[in-house]
């Protein structure tokens, strides 16, 4: 093979990776995850404690994310998963203010996503606002800027909020289930979600909004401990309960703006959700 041939083969391979969503180099050397993930043929996987509330068991690939790199998470020994979750729970519980929680999340080393992320994305908007939106995870723009929902889906979210007189400058607080970007925007694993859950739960408790808006399936299913997909959950109001008990918060499940960018025909349903949110803010739960 000539030098030119080698170069064009390497370029074609790189293009293929980028098209498949593999746009981050995580280590200097390739790792054969298929090999690492193969359990002994007769042994059942020991991951029974890794499932966060409301998360389905390892899913068939989400058709919306077909371009993601293969998700072959090694079956971790229990302690490797439960220890960081325990540490996250203790750390989150110790935070008494949003500023303390922000600092605690930034200092936390128990989630491997932090290694590949550029920034910790904690929140944006008005702390203590009546409306708190919880999305899924930062994308490339959010990772670069350290703020949630600043890319194209964030711009759509801003326009949607504006249409009902809300904005992150005045009346909305925004965060995500995960404060770190999954490489290549792949779907977060159950273990990654489980370790971040104590932080997002404490985040909601401390922000104490009047209502929660759960944007997308990952947010709605995780925080509501529901198995149904977002198509069934959207438009419905639920009560979110703090893990240790306490006052529940009304939570509206709705589509993720990134989904609306791919499926603009669904915007009319999101508009209904926005009107329902507005009614709820004006008239209280009786409006539903
Ligand atoms: N999608 C999300 O769920 N959150 C962000 O912050 C950006 C995109």
CB 143 near ligand 1, within 6 Å = no
Element (H, E) at 154: helix 152-163
pTM score over 0.85: no
Cα-to-centroid distance, 186 and ligand 1 (Å): 12
pLDDT tens profile 126-144: 999 999 999 999 999 999 9
- Reduced to 3 states (helix: H, G, I; strand: E, B; else coil), residue 133 is strand
pLDDT tens profile 86-116: 999 999 999 999 999 999 999 999 999 999 9
Q: How far apart are alpha carbons 245 and 259 in whole angstroms?
A: 33
Q: In the prediction, which pLDDT does 93 show?
A: 96
Cα-to-centroid distance, 176 and ligand 1 (Å): 7
Cα-to-centroid distance, 193 and ligand 1 (Å): 14
CB 142 near ligand 1, within 6 Å = yes
Sign of CA dihedral 153, 158, 163, 165: positive
Q: Are 107 and 121 in contact (CB under 8 A)?
A: no
CB 250 near ligand 1, within 6 Å = no
Q: Which residues in the chain show pLDDT less than 50? A: 40-75
Q: How far apart are alpha carbons 106 and 104 in whole angstroms?
A: 5
Q: In the prediction, which pLDDT does 63 show?
A: 36
Q: How far apart are alpha carbons 254 and 262 in whole angstroms?
A: 15
């Amino acid at each position: 093979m000539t030098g030119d041939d080698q170069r064009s083969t390497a370029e074609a391979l790189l293009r293929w990776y980028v098209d498949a969503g593999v746009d981050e180099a995580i280590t200097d050397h390739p790792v054969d995850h298929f090999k690492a993930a193969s359990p002994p043929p007769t042994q059942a996987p020991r991951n029974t404690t890794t499932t966060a509330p409301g998360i389905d068991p390892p899913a068939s690939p989400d058709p919306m994310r077909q371009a993601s790199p293969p998700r072959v998470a090694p079956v971790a020994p229990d302690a490797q998963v439960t220890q960081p979750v325990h540490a996250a729970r203790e750390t989150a519980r110790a935070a008494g203010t949003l500023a303390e929680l922000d600092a605690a999340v930034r200092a936390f080393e128990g989630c491997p996503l932090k290694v590949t992320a550029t920034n910790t994305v904690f929140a944006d908007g008005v702390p203590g606002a009546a409306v708190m939106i919880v999305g899924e995870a930062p994308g490339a723009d959010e990772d670069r800027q350290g703020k949630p929902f600043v890319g194209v889906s964030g711009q759509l979210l801003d326009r949607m909020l504006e249409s009902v007189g809300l904005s992150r400058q005045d009346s909305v607080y925004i965060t995500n289930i995960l404060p770190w970007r999954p490489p290549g925007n792949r779907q977060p694993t159950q273990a990654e979600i489980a370790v971040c859950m104590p932080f997002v739960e404490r985040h909601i408790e401390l922000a104490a909004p009047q209502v929660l808006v759960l944007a997308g399936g990952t947010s709605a299913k995780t925080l509501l401990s529901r198995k149904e997909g977002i198509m069934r959950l959207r438009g419905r109001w639920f009560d979110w309960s703090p893990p240790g008990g306490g006052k529940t918060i009304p939570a509206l499940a709705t589509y993720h703006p990134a989904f609306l960018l791919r499926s603009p025909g669904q915007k009319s349903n999101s508009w209904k959700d926005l009107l329902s949110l507005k009614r709820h803010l004006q008239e209280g739960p009786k409006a539903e």
